[in-house]
Amino acid sequence: MEEVIQGSRANRKRSIIKALVLLSFIIGAIVLVRFTPIKGYLTADALGRFLDTAGFWAPLVFMLFYAVGVCLFIPGTLLTGLGAAIFGAYWGFLYVWVGAMCGASAAFWIGRTLGRDFAASLIGDKLKKYDDAIERNGFATVLYLRLVYFPFTPMNFGMGLTKVHFWDYFFGTGLGIIVGTFVFTFFIGTLKDVWVSGNWGELLSFKVFFSLGLFAFSFFIPKIIKKIKGEV
């Protein structure tokens, strides 16, 4: 019996240590972005010049930059906008989506590895039923939260603290961010093309109005999803 108690205390101590490491990582990531030269690369011009030095490997470097940026709590909308401004609407969408998926997976792994044990120790009977429900309906839960634009980075780490299975999280995320990612990159990429061409008459083109319409429609997606969910 005493060995069981000692083992439980040791597990508790390890979970607290890992949780403190996770907290330190989050604080360190925020400080790193805010007070180091990394902040200087968070513009299309600066990041574009940096990627030019990578030549053929620029897309791969950007996707890695995006993934690391997600783990460092750089807003996903900022990273997505940079991708669209640098690579355009279509290639920008592809590179952003891949980078976002890599970053979301890495952040989930960090949260699961460092924070799950401690989170599980805090879950009481009332919260346990929600944790179990997320495990059973992980794909649908993740997909819904992505479609209603739940904050991207907090959700990546937060889902790692739950019992959701990784592949449910992965595929729910992959499908759930497609619409929002495409809409935003298409909108920014279209405006970038007009800016580069210098032909301001294109602001009245179908493509621009279509991108504006998609961008405006994206704000109604969460309400539509919630309405449909409420009627089901």
pLDDT tens for 162-197 read: 889 999 999 999 998 988 888 888 888 877 777 666
State the pTM of this model. Answer: 0.82
The dihedral formed by the CA atoms of 57, 59, 61 and 66, expressed in degrees to the nearest 10: 180
Phi, psi of 219 (to 5 degrees): -75, -20
The helix (run of H) or strand (run of E) holding residue 203 is none
| φ, ψ of residue 229 in degrees (nearest 5) | -65, -35
Chain segment 70-113, per-residue pLDDT in tens? 999 998 889 999 999 999 888 999 999 999 999 999 999 998 99
Residue 189: Cβ within 10 Å count? 23
Give the start-to-end residue ranges of the domains of the chain: 2-231
